[in-house]
Amino acid sequence: MPPKPPDLAALRRHAVARSLFAPTTLVNAVERLGGFVQADPLRAPARAQDLTLRHRVKGYRAGDLERRYPRLPLQEDFFINYGFVTPGLRALMHPRSARRVWDDARWILAHTVLAEVERLGEAHPADVDAALGHGAVKNWFGGNSRLTTELLDGLHYRGHLNVVRRDSGTRIYRLAPPWEPHPDPQAAMDAMADALVQKYAPLPAGSLSTLISMLFFAAHQWADLRKPTLARAKARLAHAKVDGTDWYWPAAEDPTRGWRVPSQVRLLAPFDPVVWDRRRFELLWGWAYRFEAYTPAAQRVRGHYALPLLWRDEVIGWANASVKGGALKVECGYVTGRAPRDAGFKAALEDEVQRLGVFLGLGD
- Distance between CA atoms of residues 124 and 168, nearest Å: 11
pLDDT value at position 212? 98
- Of the three residues 142, 175, 208, the one that is the final residue of a domain is 175
* Strand duo 36-38 + 245-249: pairing: unpaired
- Of the three residues 153, 175, 197, the one that is the final residue of a domain is 175
pLDDT value at position 142? 55
Q: Is residue 40 part of a domain?
A: no
pLDDT value at position 124? 97
CATH code of residue 130: 1.10.10
pLDDT value at position 144? 56
Q: Is residue 272 part of a domain?
A: yes
pLDDT value at position 138? 58
pLDDT value at position 133? 83
Range of the domain at 131: 104-175
Q: Is residue 315 part of a domain?
A: yes
Q: Is residue 64 part of a domain?
A: no
Cα 249–Cα 255–Cα 256 angle in degrees, nearest 5:
155
Q: Is residue 195 part of a domain?
A: no
Residue by residue, what is the 3-state secondary structure of 314-341? Answer: EEEEEEEEEEECCEEEEEEEECCCCCCC
Q: Is residue 227 part of a domain?
A: no
pLDDT value at position 134? 75
> Coil, helix or strand for 303?
coil
Q: Is residue 170 part of a domain?
A: yes
Domain count, the chain: 2
Cα 39–Cα 174–Cα 112 angle in degrees, nearest 5:
115
Q: Is residue 94 part of a domain?
A: no
pLDDT value at position 288? 96
Q: How many CA atoms lie within 13 A of 141 on its CB side?
A: 1
Task: Please report, in tens digits, the pLDDT of each residue of the chain (364 residues total).
Answer: 566 789 999 999 999 999 999 999 999 999 999 999 999 999 999 999 999 999 999 999 999 999 999 999 999 999 999 999 999 999 999 999 999 999 999 999 999 999 999 999 999 999 999 999 876 665 554 555 689 999 999 999 999 999 999 999 999 999 999 999 999 999 999 999 999 999 999 999 999 999 999 999 999 999 999 999 999 999 999 999 999 999 999 999 999 998 999 999 999 999 999 999 999 999 999 999 999 999 999 999 999 999 999 999 999 999 999 999 999 999 999 999 999 998 899 999 999 999 999 999 997 5
pLDDT value at position 146? 84
- Of the three residues 175, 199, 227, the one that is the final residue of a domain is 175
What pTM was computed for the model?
A: 0.94
pLDDT value at position 145? 66
pLDDT value at position 136? 62
pLDDT value at position 2? 63
Q: How many CA atoms lie within 13 A of 330 on its CB side?
A: 19
- 128, 152 contact by CB (below 8 A): yes
